[in-house]
Structure 1
Amino acid sequence: MRTATSLVALATGTALLLGLAACSAEEKAVKSGSWTVLSYSIADTDLEPYMMDDVAEMGSVGSQENLNIVALVDRSADYTADDVLGQGDWVGGKLLAVTDGGADELEDMGDVNTGDPQVLADFITRGITEYPADNYALIISDHGASWPGVGGDESFDGDGLDLEEINQALTDGLAGTDVEKLDLLGFDACLMATYEVASKLAPHAERLLASQELEPGHGWDYTALQTIPDNGGATVDELGSALIAGFEAQAVDQETQAEITLSLVDLNAIPAVDDALAAFSGALVERAAGVAPVVGRSLASALGFGRNPDPEQDVFMTDLAILAGEIGVDALDVSDEADDLIRAINDSVLDKVDGQATKGATGLSIYFPPTEALYSSDYDALGVDGDWADFLVAYYGAGSAVPEESHTTFADGDAVIDFDADGVNVTASFDAEGAENISEAFIRYGTVDADGSVTFLGREPADFDDEGEVVGSYDLSQLTISDGEDTTGAYLDMTIDGDVVTFDVPMTYYAPDAEDGTDALLSLVIDGDDLISETYYTHNVEAGTYGALSADPDGIISPELLNVDADGTEQWLSTSDYGLYADLPNLEYDFPNLESGTELYLELQVVDFSGNVDTVAVTVEVP
């Protein structure tokens, strides 16, 4: 196996001097508004089929007057054998100068680790040095994980680029050029529009283009690069807005628009966000004990991204400006700091798009696990400004300091059950002593198995009020999925925003002949009575990254249900021994009613800001 070799060193060889440019930087005139776009495609992953479509889109534009497109494309042996840009199929990395409908191979890199920051640094140096332009963009494509980074390369044990490695690659790559900053830094990846990413990488680029939410498989529409030659050049904001518009149009065309986000962030404005966040965090720390219940309720209601019914697969990213606004409304003693933070974020986000299920997303998210047990200590090493980690410590500390008698608990007495034409309603009361600490409430429902365990079919938000009453409703239906031959039940976790309802459905995908499965998530978005979006994502447990699921139709997709033993042990189990064929576009969804006489377990939960959970449950028969 060849090892990754420095691109800069290779570029000095006479054979490779024929590569990137026909003339030297000194001989090449740099036109105002011209661009060199560097595409770093970590396609040695299950996203390869989607990313090859992206590379083909670049080829439909090609390098033209005012535009150079240079791509480092690393491919796998496992996912697709498609010809790309006239290069046929290949395994490993290739450095390509993208032309009109094709590409010139500049280097066959062989087995290259695209999770090595030096490879990225050398690519940046070489692309900028040998393709001089007025503006430079770097776009990194693969699975994303928010602040943990992007990647990783499956030929090198899933090695990815964490945030510090990206920071180092940008530092080293730009140091080898006469360019101080990139004009545009883009992440065509899930979850990368975060405060942490923007703050850490702000010194290296003028603008950041990234998504707060999980991205659909098609990613960006790179035909939007045509805006540069069409207009004789482009400013960074013109290019960023063109890419946002192209992404939205492609999402509408492919019916994935319900959950999209993409934001263009002015990184020069991030120091003001740092300062405003530090002031907001400091105010929260000073008042942690008093404001923590408000923060808990605000977190529960704020728009979140990368959410998953299984907390081990949730990334706990929350829209920062929405969170600050919610806190500022109810905690007036920090409202000035909240308003300042919101203004700073709004000033930094120059353009954005959202969908029906992500409506109101403001452009930057931030890490906020609801409890200390879910917090990753890796966050402590990020070294970003804003003092957010200090606030999280204070918040968790305030939760642990709440005396037991102030925990949110249900009052003595059974839940009240009421069947009506819409299903069943469960009502219960909780003690007033802990009422102020409650953050959220849920109803969970499932069927009782012969061994006394419960197979949960779903969870939905329940309503609670200041008088101590919780009401949860369930329509007595179950989500089922069919491949035309078999039908199986599925668990759903419901989020409601007006008429828009999102169902998150945990699954496992098995490639043909594979013994081990891959964690997956189906997201269904319903507006009124209309299913407006169905998107499948995959989750890499080791890397913590998300991306669109690329499934072989001959593979198996198996929905999961949450099983709880009589002793309270919870585990996710496959709904059947056979699963469904993973022909994802042709799977059908239904919500049949449970059969009359089914023994049904209904459970109301209240959760306080410190993570304490109390439950009241009842078992009934479906009428």
Structure 2
Amino acid sequence: MPTVPTRLTSVVAATSVLLLLAACSGGGSDDSSDSSGDPGHTGREGDGWTVLHYSMGDTNLEPFMVGDVNELGEVGSNDNLHIREFMDRSAEYGEDPLLDQGDWVGGRTLDLGEPGTSEVVEDFGDIDSADPAVLAQFIADGIEANRAGHYALIISDHGASWPGIGPDEGTADYNVLDLAEITEAISTGLEEVGVDKLDLLGFDACLMANYEVASAVAPYADRLVASQELEPGHGWDYTTLQLLADDPDATADELGEALIDGFEGQAVEWGTEDSITLSMVDLTKMDDVDEAVEAFADTMSSESGDVAAAVGQSEATTLGFGKSPDETQDKHLRDLGLLAAAIGDAAPEVADQAEAVVSALDEAVLDSVDGAATAGATGLSIYIPPVPDLADPAYVDVSSSGDWADFLDAYYGAGEAIPADEQAQFTEVNAGPEVVFEDDGSVTLNNTFDPAGLDNITEATISYAFVNDDGSITYFGEEIADFEVGDDGVPTASGNYDLTAMEISDGEDFATAYVELDLSEDLSTAFFDVPMTYYASTDPETPQDALLSLVLDIEAGQFESETIYIYNEESGGYGELAPDPEGIIVPDVLTITADGEQVWEPTTDVGLYSDIPSLTYDFVPVESGTTLQVDLSIYDFGGNVSTVGSYVEVP
């Protein structure tokens, strides 16, 4: 199947929660009214649409953005639709021709004409596309030159949710267009030309369907179209804008629905449909969502001591986006609707407020699509790092974070206040876990833990590592374990490991990979996140952090999709890796050195060619006689962890 880059920048909900929210994932409210035709809107002239497409292409996504603009060019402009494009190009990322402009370096604004044609409005040369003044002027000039009955702005690049969009790699400091700058640019651009609101704002980028983003941009558009999850590099199918070229009276809702349908169709074509999300949010209803989230956050803050355990357990099991085994690169985003429902189900003190969040979100999300790995997504994510050490200090400066940031402070305070005798603690630490070799060739670890901490436990895991000659150990996987109270009233954690390791091969060499495993609710699909390092063939001396996401059909024993994302440390975001068959990827594994330092490091000195279609993945039995360290861990909502481990010799 074809493989593409994506657009991201920086474990599974309970069945009852998924059933409760099933109605939320497919389109929300039956109210399909479209406020973009409100006669109170200012700056409209006549009918038809002006679509402003802003491509911050000075990144590895440039080849895919060029493809997007060529799709726009298939539609072109006519009396009903005018398309204006801003594209910033780099000398580093290919020479793909864009419409009739060929290749160039730097920023250009183009007016698209008849299909396949374009005219240069302005050639800026070297320009910082992450400068809000550049975006503001693009908006103002585009509207002033092409007054219409409806306006849409779509911004395309790597996305990071509330940290923003970018970076522009052509600037010395890898500048990012943060959320405050996005709202500033849109507000300034619209004000200059007397337009109160856009009809539709779109982010063709990773992770931007986020509560904090939607709340911040709500004053400036009627509709928001964006993705909760990492977005495949192919992005949206812009040939769907033919709707506007054919019908000048098309509404923002109709445009949003067409974009979602087109994105889903293109994802099926590219084989990326298992992990997609895209939603359309009615921003005119964000006041209701804000009010519900504020009340929910305030009540949880005041009741933090009573509800914190429910919050921690819900955070650990709710559908997440932008996840990584390396917690410093995880985006710590959870589905807002599923999270609220799970907390409300577990904590009666906030059940009414949680239900209000679910209801308000359901009304606001008008249409959406999800995949096997994102099933049940309700349209918007929210930021909730599990412990304060993983929280980004910049979050408190986000205009829309207010009450939720206060709640996070109260939640972390409750975690720090857990009494020592109520923290996660195994009762047989010195003796180690009970180790049982099963008939199917796997190994099971069991251990009891202190019942005083039972209500505070959020999750349990089993992890496994090679034991090295220098005294270090190298972890190559982690899975969810179970914890429960047995018939004898004793709480026990139990984890099973099948004594295999994932190997990735390019047909010439192979490397062991670190695997973090999640399972779908029906246990039919497995999802793997594999940390990697990437070396471009054009710059082999500069390593880049990457993440491989795999979807496995368990019954068929077949990997259904594979996507590699690049992580950008400056912006804190991910973006799908553009294919470079001559580049090198190396899986990373977590090594604990003899003196206790944790280091993510390459599993091999050889590396594999990043010719994605040639890569194969297999779970191979660990060689007989190998000594492994297998650990069973329990965690509480305060970040306290208790671990018991055992050396295991593979039979």
Q: What TM-score comes out, normalization by structure 1 length?
A: 0.94
**Which residue pairs with 2:573 in the alignment?**
545
Q: CA deviation at 1:385?
A: 6.1
Residue 280 (1) aligns with residue 296 (2): yes
The answer on 1:616 being equivalent to 2:644 is: yes
Q: Name the CA distance, whole Å, in 1 between partners of 2:101 and 2:415.
A: 58
1:519 to 521, 533, 545: 545
| Per-residue CA distance 1:418-439 (angstroms, 9 max, x = gap) | 1121511111111111111100
- Whichever residue aligns with residue 544 of structure 2, its letter is T
Q: Which residue of 2 aligns with 1:395?
A: 411
Counterpart position of 1:506: 531
> Counterpart of 1:189?
205
Corresponding residue for residue 95 of structure 1: 109
Q: Is the 8 A contact 1:31 1:66 kept in 2?
A: no
2:267, 2:273 → 1: CA distance? 5
* 2:511 counterpart residue number: 488
User: After TM superposition, what 4+ stretches of structure 1 lie above 6 angstroms from structure 2?
Assistant: none
Q: Distance in 1 between matches of 2:491 and 2:467?
A: 29
Say which of 501, 505, 508 aligns to 1:478. 501
- Matched residues in 1 for 2:362 and 2:218: separation? 16
- Does residue 561 in structure 1 map to residue 615 in structure 2? no
Instruction: Output the CA distance in 1 between the equivalents of 2:611 and 2:449.
Output: 46
Partner of 1:431: 450
Q: 1:135, CA displacement in angstroms?
A: 0.7
| CA–CA distance in structure 2, aligned partners of residues 287 and 445 of structure 1 | 38
* AA in 2 matched with 1:107: E
CA pair 423-173 structure 1, distance change in 2 beyond 3 A: same
Q: Is 1:377 paired with 2:396?
A: no
1:457 has 2:476 as partner: yes
Say if 2:344 is the partner of 1:328.
yes
1:206-605 maps to which residues of 2 (within 5 A)?
206-384=222-400, 387-412=403-428, 413-420=431-438, 421-466=440-485, 467-497=490-520, 498-512=523-537, 513-528=539-554, 529-605=557-633
Amino acid at match of 1:514: P
Q: Tell me if structure 2 keeps the 8 A contact 1:72–1:95.
A: yes
**1:126 partnered with 2:154:** no
Q: Is 1:55 matched with 2:69? A: yes
The residue aligned with 1:13 is none
C-alpha deviations, 1:67-90, integer Å up to 9, x for none?
111000000000111111011110
In structure 1, the residue matched to 2:20 is none
Q: Which amino acid aligns with 2:437?
A: F
3-state SS, counterpart of residue 245 of structure 2: helix
**Cα deviations across residues 8-64 of structure 1 (Å, max 9, x unaligned)?**
xxxxxxxxxxxxxxxxxxxx99553x1111000000011111111111111111112
1 CA distance for matches of 2:453 and 2:594?
28
In structure 1, how many angstroms separate the alpha carbons of the residues matched to 2:189 and 2:393?
29
CA root-mean-square deviation: 1.3
The code of the aligned residue for 2:372 comes to: Q
Partner of 1:16: none
**C-alpha distance in 2, partners of 1:207/1:86?**
32
- Matched residue, 1:140: 155
Q: Deviations over 1:534-584 (max 9, x none)?
A: 111011011101111114211111111111123322111101112011111
Alignment partner of 2:350: what SS? helix
Q: Which AA in structure 2 matches 1:70?
A: R
* Cα shift readout 1:395-443 (whole Å, capped 9, x = no counterpart): 0000111121211111124311111215111111111111111001100
Q: Say whether the 8 Å CA contact 2:80–2:245 is kept in structure 1.
A: yes
How big is each residue's C-alpha offset from its partner over 1:587-608, in whole Å with a ceiling of 9 and x where there is no partner?
A: 1111111111111110011110
How far, CA to CA, are the matches of 1:160 and 1:563 in structure 2?
A: 32
Contact 2:471 2:594 in 1 (8 A): yes
SS at 1:346's partner residue? helix
Q: Identity of aligned pairs, percent?
A: 52
Q: Secondary structure at the match of 2:621?
A: coil
SS at match of 1:313: coil
3-state SS in 2 of match to 1:137 = strand
TM-score by length of 2: 0.90
Counterparts of 1:123 and 1:419, CA distance in 2: 65
Gaps of 5+ in 1: 1-27
Aligned residue for 1:351, secondary structure, equals: strand
Q: 1:83 aligns with which of 97, 101, 104?
A: 97
Shift of the 422–136 alpha-carbon distance from structure 1 to 2, 3 Å rule, reads farther
Structure 2 residue aligned with 1:115, among 118, 127, 130?
130
